[in-house]
Structure 1
Amino acid sequence: MRRALAHARRGLGRTAPNPVVGASVVTAEGVVVGDGAHERAGGPHAEIFAIEAAGARARGATLYSTLEPCSHVGRTGPCTDRIIAAGIRRVVAAMEDPFPLVRGRGFGVLRDHGIEVEVGVGREEAVRLNQPFLTAVRERRPFVILKAATSLDGRMAAAAGERTQLTSAAADRHAHYIRAQVDAIAIGSETLLVDDPLLTARLVYRERPLTRVVFDRRLRTPPTSRLFSTLPAGPVIIVTSRRAQSAQRERSDGLERAGATMLALDEPTMTEALRALAALEIQSLVLEGGPVVHRAAWDAGVVDYVQLYIAPVAVRRHAGSAGPDAPAVVLGPASTLASLVEPQVRTLGPDALVEGYVHRPH
């Protein structure tokens, strides 16, 4: 099962709206004769790759799969049919598929054909790998990773409205590695106006385009933003209100000409925006900032995972200095103490990364 889980990791950021799945075929003598991973939606499932690699040696063997094999016709045929035809004797699955068309039915079909089924081996790791898929199925929204870079004193910039590079190249590489594993990256309009970021996955290989999302209730995004210079890297979605789009039709049309996809909602709350993005088959999203959208996500109860990059610097203001305070990182809903589940701390060059789940994976 550990081998199947390793193959499943290959699908991170590539399979939405499908789950990541890995599979291995092992003979009665304990010899691995076939491996597979689901690589993209619409492509063959992991079980099929593993069975095809095993060939005739699949007969009488055990199939290890990180998820319940499907028994329905979707973009591909039922995996259960191929498992039965291959002569697999036993199926060991890490977890049941929560998708209504599959849930428990795949196991039922296999048992009806005399195939031994065992469920639960490696379940915890399989659940962690498929948090985006599970969140999309159960809550109809993407899995949200709140990401922030901060100084030792909790500041995200030297001053309000000022772009400040706090973290090192090592931390940046890690952030781009995470970008390569998710479906989308999102920011608020204030961050866009201050930083004018590209929001691309650089420094690492990414097979699929990365969707860039801007939460822009007042439609302040300039059509000249650098986001639109990198459209081959991934689409740009502007989430705004129908009222703002109607009142600023010329600006909206200009953004569409620049290449933006306009997602106008009656009430562009964080909850409604995420549900609209889920309808576009976005299952995982890194919310990079700034404090306004971070606060909105916390208050809506949609933050699933936190990644906090802490630089060994302090942002100090000189006595008598003018202007608003430097923006502070937001690490929980208003008036509530937030704590992480299964927290991890590691160093990235001179910086520290503190990360963990907001709720226990399930």
Structure 2
Amino acid sequence: MAVNAAERNAMDRALHLAARGPRGANPQVGAVILSPDGTVLAEGWHHGAGTPHAEVDALSKLAPGEARGATAVVTLEPCNHTGRTGPCAVALIDAGIARVVYALDDPGAVSGGGAERLRSAGVDVEAGEQADAAHALIAGWLEAQRLGRPQITVKWAQSLDGRAAADDGSSQWITGPAARADVHRRRAEADAIAVGTGTVLADDPALTARDGDALLPHQPIPVVIGSRPTPADAAVHRHPHSPLFFDTHDLHTVVADLHARGVQSLFVEGGPTLASAFLQAGLADRLLVYIAPVLLGGGRLALTDIGVASIGEARRLTIDEWVPLGSDLLAIAHPAHDAHPRNEGAA
């Protein structure tokens, strides 16, 4: 049975509702319940981890039996597992839903399979309606599910000869205003931004995303990694979000913790030591390298040890794009062994 006009309109609405939900450990999902004649009976969306899923949120607004024979239009395949909430597939079956139209298959090995469970119970199921739009909405969550951790972007700025600073430590500004504005736009696309304690002590960064002096609408959560204490009057303490501090050099532990908190994308901006550590650990999905037409010489390299002892161990990259930014040049790249080039539209 093909998707009809009322169901297509309901999917438009479900996608709009899904966007109201927070980005986090769970996907943003919206749901609309339609009567057999296409009238909207109820709407719902997922309000965050531990709250009812979108389908259950919508069903909760109906009287017992009111959903019998109705159609549920959902942006993601109804889940098939019990976590902090029960399986949505079972909730739909128990409510007497006769048909389910959804956009994307659930990629989870445990949570997936809801469509098959529905069909086994005699529910008519139609998959793939507006799948591209649903994918775009939760692309960050899907990528974090694939990786089992946040998607990680490592950024640095360097002179043409590969230096991050002059020998006296001064580094403001290697790049020009266009490049710096681009960095702030990209910060605003990330869920979290990480620096090392060395950068905090040396530069006292605010770690905000700004347009000039004004804060951009979305701000990444500041993350400080390292064992040295952060001063009480450091600028990071004035960030709109409370900073997260990790007294460890184990980056896998850090990204696992961030993943558990629902961080889908991490922007690493912490100077040569931290950037090199992420690269050495194999925790870089995308590189943003801002190259300025200036020569500095000296020993303040943009990268230090990344575990390459010989040319045969070189970390080969695939360039996704070269972006001119005023007199500077941005190289956007990903590891050459990565079979999944990064989508610039996803954070």
TM over 0.5: yes
Aligned sequence identity (%): 33
Distance 1:350 1:9 in 2: 38
User: What SS does the corresponding residue of 1:98 show, helix, strand or coil?
Assistant: coil
Whichever residue aligns with residue 299 of structure 2, its letter is P
Deviations 1:157-191 (A, max 9, x none): 45563242434364254134214xx1x22112332
- 1:205 corresponds to 2:214: no
Separation in 1, partners of 2:58, 2:326: 39
Query: Partners in 1 of 2:329 and 2:144 — Cα distance?
Result: 30
CA distance in 2, matches of 1:31, 1:47: 17
Task: Find the aligned partners of 1:23 and 1:155 in 2 and give their Cα distance.
Answer: 52
Answer with 136-145 or 291-300: which moved more.
136-145
- Unaligned 5+ residue runs, structure 1? 241-267
- State how 1:318-333 maps to structure 2 within 5 Å: 323-325=298-300, 327=302
TM superposition shift of 1:144:
1.5
Alpha-carbon distance in 1 for matches of 2:306, 2:68: 50
Larger helix percent: 1
Q: Structure 1 residue aligned with 2:317, among 315, 324, 338?
A: 338
Residue identity in the other structure for 2:283 = V
Moved more, 113-122 or 2-11: 2-11
Letter in 2 for 1:83: L
The question of whether the paired residues in 1 share the 8 Å contact of 2:56 and 2:91 is answered with: yes
| The one of 89, 92, 96 aligned to 2:99 | 89
CA deviations on 1:320-347 (whole Å, 9 max, x unpaired) are: x7x534536999976122115xx35667
Query: How far apart, CA to CA, are the structure 2 residues paired with 1:80 and 1:127?
Result: 21
Count residues with an aligned counterpart. Answer: 315
Counterpart in 2 of 1:75?
A: 84
Report the aligned-residue RMSD: 4.4
Please give the secondary structure, in 1, of the residue aligned with 2:266: strand
Contact 1:187 1:215 in 2 (8 A): yes
In 2, Cα distance between the equivalents of 1:205 and 1:329? 35
Letter in 2 for 1:171: D
TM-score (norm: length of structure 1)? 0.66
The 5 Å alignment of 1:1-362 reads 3=12, 4=14, 8-11=18-21, 14-23=22-31, 36-48=44-56, 60-61=70-71, 63-65=73-75, 67-84=76-93, 85=95, 87-100=97-110, 102-104=111-113, 106-120=114-128, 130=138, 132-134=140-142, 137=145, 139-150=147-158, 156-157=164-165, 161-165=169-173, 166=175, 167-168=177-178, 170-179=181-190, 182=191, 184-201=192-209, 203-206=215-218, 211-216=221-226, 219-224=227-232, 226-227=234-235, 229-230=237-238, 233-240=241-248, 268-308=249-289, 310=290, 313-317=292-296, 323-325=298-300, 327=302, 335-340=314-319, 343=320, 355=332, 358=335, 359=338, 360=340
